[in-house]
Structure 1
């Protein structure tokens, strides 16, 4: 993303500088030259605005995609943790039942 943005910015800057220099060295009246510079600046500004909008949309889409993936992964982790907790509880309940039985047998032998 950053590389594309830098490339676009470089192309726009080069275009603007080249157009400005070409106009400045052209044999025209000052008022015509100033108007051309203003027109080129407006055109460059419009192009930059479009490219910035496209870049913003692309970044937004990328962020949205990553957020959806992250949400899915978190949901999966929580679900897996829930199943693991259920397994642990089941194992502990079985162990408790076994210990209660052993305790009951020990109490019978003591009496």
Structure 2
């Protein structure tokens, strides 16, 4: 934005210097000189308006570009998060299945030991 500010300052300074020199060295009558000054002032005003309009358009384009990049980045991060979350949930599900299987095996072993223990108790009570 410094370049645009320098351009605007340059335009204004050029207008002031040009108008001053025009008045000092004017070979024409006063009315003609005033008309030239008015015309030059209008020209500089139009240039300044055009520069301001261009600057506004570039800022708007930059803002739109930034918004699009932020939206894209956020979308990508969300997708990555969703994938990671799904991976964690899937891993947890497999681990839960593994744990349940292991516990069922141990329960079957304990039941078998308990059954043997009860048989031994019954046999010992009979003798």
Is TM more than 0.5 here?
A: yes
- 1:57 aligned to 2:83? no
* 1:14 shift after superposition: 1.9
- 1:7 aligned to 2:6? yes
- Tell me the distance in 2 between the aligned counterparts of 1:71 and 1:32: 58
Q: Is 27-36 or 15-24 further displaced after alignment?
A: 27-36
Aligned residue-pair number = 110
- For structure 1, the 5+ residue unaligned runs are none
Partner of 1:110: 110
* 1:82 shift after superposition: 0.9
Matches within 5 A, 1:42-53: 42-53=42-53
- Larger Cα-atom Rg: 2
Q: Is 67-76 or 29-38 further displaced after alignment?
A: 29-38
* 1:62 shift after superposition: 2.1
Q: Secondary structure at the match of 2:25?
A: coil
Partner of 2:71: 71
* 1:32 shift after superposition: 4.2
- 1:16 aligned to 2:15? yes
- For structure 2, the 5+ residue unaligned runs are 112-127
* 1:65 shift after superposition: 2.1
Q: Is 7-16 or 59-68 further displaced after alignment?
A: 59-68
- Tell me the distance in 1 between the aligned counterparts of 2:35 and 2:22: 10
Highest RCO, 1 vs 2 (Cα 8 Å, sep ≥ 6): 1
- TM-score of the aligned structures, taking structure 1 as reference length: 0.82
- Tell me the distance in 1 between the aligned counterparts of 2:23 and 2:107: 106
* 1:37 shift after superposition: 3.1
- Tell me the distance in 1 between the aligned counterparts of 2:106 and 2:5: 79
